[in-house]
Amino acid sequence: MTALRPLPRLDAHNRPFWTGGAEGELRIMRCQDCATFIHPPRPVCSKCLSENVAPEAVAGSGVVDTFTVNYQKWHPAMEVPFVIARIALDGVPGVYLTSNIINCDVEKVDIGDRVHVKFERQDDVYLPLFEKMDQTL
């Protein structure tokens, strides 16, 4: 997309998620007491209520759980169509990211496709977007 995306307001809790792409890492908060992953980022574990949470780099790969194709041009600079997908992250039980599938014909995206993260830098934010993995490997 050529249109700039709205950016999140960075704070102490979400900064590792939005800036991890500078090091090529997808970072998800994890409770250091019960090992539960927490997303969206929060200062307290939703399972055990511990405040002992910290960002952890994860694989950055996953599976398209569901998706839709957007054909509506909401902004003059927006390129359509594009895919909005929910990604089930590998090794991060219960965490799904809503993102875009990029560098792929929208008609070639399907539920169950293997994907991996690619970061798009915009100011100090690294947006986690996803590409399909090579299916021929």
Q: Is residue 42 in some structural domain?
A: yes
Query: Is the pTM of the predicted complex or chain greater than 0.85?
Result: yes
22-45 tens-digit pLDDT: 999 999 999 999 999 999 999 999
Q: Is residue 3 in some structural domain?
A: no
Q: Which two tokens stand for residue 30?
A: 């994890």
Percent of the chain with pLDDT over 70: 96
> Mean of the pLDDT values across residues 83-108?
97
In Å, how far from its chain's centre is CA 53?
19
Is the model more confident about 107 or about 5? 107
Q: Is residue 23 in some structural domain?
A: yes
pLDDT confidence bin for 99, thresholds 50/70/90:
very high
Q: Is residue 2 in some structural domain?
A: no
Task: For residue 59, give its domain range.
Answer: 15-132
Domain count, the chain: 1
